[in-house]
Structure 1
Amino acid sequence: MGRLIDKSPPYQPETPLRLVVVGLSRTGTASLYLALQELGYTPWHMCEPVDDPSRMYNQWTEAMKCRFFGGSRPYDRKDFDKLRGRYDALLDIPACLFWDDFHKLYPEAKIILTTRSGESWFKSVHSTIIPWLEKPLLKFLQHFDSKRLGPEMCMVRTAYKVICDNDYNSSKMIDSYRQHNERVRNGVNPEQFLELQLGDGWEPLCTFLGVPVPDKPYPRVNNTNEFNQGAEEADAAMLTGMFKLWLAVLVPVSVAGLWFYFQKV
């Protein structure tokens, strides 16, 4: 069975992959995403609006299955170039799970590990991402939305299968989080590596990247309340869109059915 990525046309990125942020979600990656935009990067993050989310999400899921579950031939540099497109920095899941592949395939790229304490990370994930994944309505609706919700939930769930085998209890998840961080610390060339903790701000980041410190506060976004509010707004917009789509289909079908019925009466 052929891979999805093989069906995408060849792509030659205009810019090399300059940076990979390999910290797991809920370690300040959304704030860093905005900071990198300010510093002139074109970063991709889960919060980045994309023109064709189903393509990107489905290909990331395929990349994980090929790399971690023996689905098919793992992605190489040409495959990842097609997947990332114009983005020269990658953050958040699932990109962070391929940290060793990117370090090998793009030896010129710098690596940043964003971290926080295991306990605070677990609390944050269980206040945001896990409730979203386990929401009954979304688990039902994902089967009717192949454009965004279905591919997105499949991608995120596959990422957490890689991280902790979808076992969300505290000991399993915190151990998995700490093991991921240790593997990165021990597996990356120190000259290309920076560990950035929540609250570190501009200075260590800009020193590492060799750029001036902006004359503005470091971004602080996507805390628990902001995440959940954004998720609720996105869910409401999705439900409205699906409702309009169902009306567009059901009303003409119902009218046609009534017309045929009364023709026979």
Structure 2
Amino acid sequence: MGQEASQPRPGTSLQVIGAGLSRTGTASLSQALEILLDAPVYHGGTQTCLGPPSHITSWIQILKHTPIRSLSDRAFVLRTLKSTLDGYAATTDTPGAQFVPELLELYPDAKVICTVRDPDEWAKSIGATSQQALQWYLRVVLLPLTTMRHFPAYLDALQAGRYGELYSRPGDANLYRRRVWDRHMEYLKKVVPEEKLVFFDVRDGWGPLCDALGVDVPETEFPNSNDGQAIEEFAKRQVLAGLVAWGWILGGIAAVAGVVSMMKK
């Protein structure tokens, strides 16, 4: 997750579809692509959590039209994806990584880059993150926050929609296990032409990425963002902000009640 949401640049079209799952170095890839493409990049986690509410609510509506069951579902998904991502040179992270075939239809010349890491380590990492994100009390704590109040509904729509469609099988009790990784790789190899699909480990630095995009290696160091640490720090800030907001709300209610009680006396 980046530090702030990117702003779209009119006239910019998607050149790279980031197909890597969350916690695979997607924030580092986003920063690297911003340098190489000299244009804004849409990092899903950052835009939905730190952007204006329209970002997360748009994704909720997209996800509610998945699995796609009708022509109207398909038209809505394509139309809303395009309006959401226009002005960005690349998209990375979930939920864009789960809409690769639709994005290829909209942007047929785009390159698909999937960030990778050790699958078992990924499973441990995403499992810990999901456990924090799915705590029941967050539905109450985040309610006063303009954007993050929508986050529980977004997670519900993600699991009931495309995420569950791609990775869930009858009897599965948890969507954040190693099997999700394996199914994601199968999905990409099925929907992306071999010549368009690149697997990239951010620890390998500029070389493979620049080769894939056909650009020169920049003189700056390759970005190194700690996704796990950034997510943990962000989560703590949001919980604290929610608790503070609830403190003001409850304090205001108590004050009004006190005034009303005094007036009655």
Instruction: Tell me, in whole angstroms, the C-alpha distance in 2 between the residues paired with 1:155 and 1:139.
Output: 11
1:106-117 mapped onto 2 (5 Å cutoff):
106-117=107-118
The C-alpha deviation readout for 1:193-239, integer Å capped at 9, x for no partner, is 21112412111111222222222222222243443233212321332
Instruction: Tell me, in whole angstroms, the C-alpha distance in 2 between the residues paired with 1:194 and 1:65.
Output: 29
In structure 2, the partner of 1:6 is: none
Q: Runs of 5+ in structure 1 lacking a partner?
A: 1-11
In structure 1, the partner of 2:6 is: none
In structure 2, the partner of 1:22 is: 19
What is the identity percentage for the equivalent residue pairs of Structure 1 and Structure 2?
24
1:83-98 mapped onto 2 (5 Å cutoff):
83-98=84-99
| 2:214 matches 1:210 | yes
In structure 2, the partner of 1:228 is: 232
Aligned residues: 246
The one of 183, 190, 204 equivalent to 1:186 is 190
In structure 2, the partner of 1:155 is: 154
Q: Residue 39 of structure 2 aligns to a residue in which SS?
A: coil
In structure 2, the partner of 1:33 is: 30
Alpha-carbon distance change, 246 to 205 in structure 1, aligned in 2, over 3 angstroms: farther
Q: Residue 68 of structure 1 aligns to a residue in which SS?
A: coil
1:53-202 mapped onto 2 (5 Å cutoff):
54-68=53-67, 70=69, 73-74=73-74, 75-128=76-129, 130-142=130-142, 144-145=143-144, 147-161=146-160, 162-163=163-164, 164-165=167-168, 167-168=173-174, 173-202=177-206
Q: CA deviation at 1:100?
A: 1.0
8 A contact 2:20–2:114 mirrored in 1? yes
TM-score relative to the length of structure 2 = 0.80
Q: CA deviation at 1:180?
A: 1.3
The one-letter amino acid of 1:185's match is K
Instruction: Tell me, in whole angstroms, the C-alpha distance in 2 between the residues paired with 1:235 and 1:138.
Output: 8
8 A contact 2:56–2:154 mirrored in 1? yes
Q: CA deviation at 1:186?
A: 3.2
CA RMSD of aligned residues (A): 2.8
Instruction: Tell me, in whole angstroms, the C-alpha distance in 1 between the residues paired with 2:158 and 2:136.
Output: 20
Instruction: Tell me, in whole angstroms, the C-alpha distance in 1 between the residues paired with 2:23 and 2:186.
Output: 17
Q: Residue 81 of structure 2 aligns to a residue in which SS?
A: helix
TM-score relative to the length of structure 1 = 0.80
In structure 1, the partner of 2:257 is: 254
